[in-house]
A = this chain, B = another copy of it.
Amino acid sequence: MEKNNYKIGVDISGGDYAPSEIFKGAVNAQKEFHENIVLIGVKKEIEEEARRMKVNLDGFTVVDAPEKIEMSESPVTAVRRKRDSSIVVGSQLLKDGKIDAFVSCGNTGAIVCAATLTLRPIEGVERPGIAILMPTRKNVSILLDAGANIEPKPLHLFQYGIMASSYYKTVLNKENPTVGLLNIGEEETKGTDFVKRVHKLFSASSLNFIGNVEPKELFSGNCDCIICDGLMGNVALKVSEGCGKFMVRSFFELVNQDFFAKIGFLFMGQAFKKIKRIFDYSEYGGALLLGVDGVVIKGHGRSSHIAVKNAIKVAIKELQWELNTEIKRRINEVCNDSRIREILTS
């Protein structure tokens, strides 16, 4: 990787294995990628980790953030009250231009909340959205919005389509990714008036719109970017997670009741671990906050030092790819099309 002299802020307090795994990942990332790592967290803990791992902190910037937002805290309350937490401090550093990107494996809701409150939207973007990368039978699909905006306007959803498409093209490297509108049936006549209005906007746009997609397509990989309001997206995501956990638990219960199944399980432990991991949706590849003017990466809550290093790598790539510049350009281009403007003003 070439050296870009980026400043990457890393939340040392966030994640199940914080601070040690995060610290280790950040240190290794600096060694490997030669960018400037800014360690944000409880100063004493950072110094202790450095001592323990025999790391010289001279090569790092350390920013003290004495408060911690726990994984289980209510995001909005935590962000409002804990102004000295690593998540709030990191978002502020990003806003002030003191770091170029912020990487955290902490409380997803708090990261989204702090970033949304602190950072401005990208010029032209009406509302930021939370994108989730869903594993499917083929490739990854992006689900947007997964809960940032529960009572959106049609324009918001339309812009989510543009942003998801930009992300897919730029970061996942696919030309002309498909965009679909999550709905209870494929026919154009299905769904609420709201969904029908969004359908009209997409149909008139230059996006590769494939029409309504049913919830089952969240798992098929037939649609690259699946767009919906934050309420539906959140329910879809949470049901997937709940269903995955329920299946895994039910399976274990059945196995425990059956002698032969127990023997069988000994043989298939590895395969089973893999499927369990696939179903950790909200954590798969992390959540993305699309539409804010700044690079914010949410790593897996259970990130090891290797995962932390990879999340930092993604941040560097997003900066190199200039995703937000691409989003700004595309929002401007697609929304200012005369047909779209006509529909929006009618």
Contact = CB atoms under 8 A, between A and B. Distances in A.
Q: How many copies does the complex hold?
A: 2
Interface in A267-309: 267-268, 270-272, 274-275, 278-279
B239 A215 contact: yes
A261 B216 CA distance: 27
Interface in A226-274: 230-232, 234-236, 238-247, 249-251, 254-255, 257-258, 260-261, 263-268, 270-272, 274
Interface residues of A, number: 57
Nearest to A242: B216
Contacts of A25: none
Given A264-B266, A266-B264, A137 B215 contact: no
A137 B249 contact: yes
**For chain A, what secondary structure do more than half of its interface residues adopt (helix, strand, loop), or is it mixed?**
helix
Contacts of A249: 137
A214 interface: yes
A124 interface: no
A14 interface: no
Interface in A90-121: none
B151 A192 contact: yes
25 contacts: A137-B249, A151-B193, A216-B239, A217-B242, A219-B245, A231-B232, A232-B232, A235-B235, A235-B236, A236-B236, A239-B243, A240-B243, A243-B247, A243-B279, A247-B275, A250-B275, A250-B278, A251-B275, A254-B275, A258-B270, A258-B271, A263-B264, A264-B267, A264-B268, A265-B268
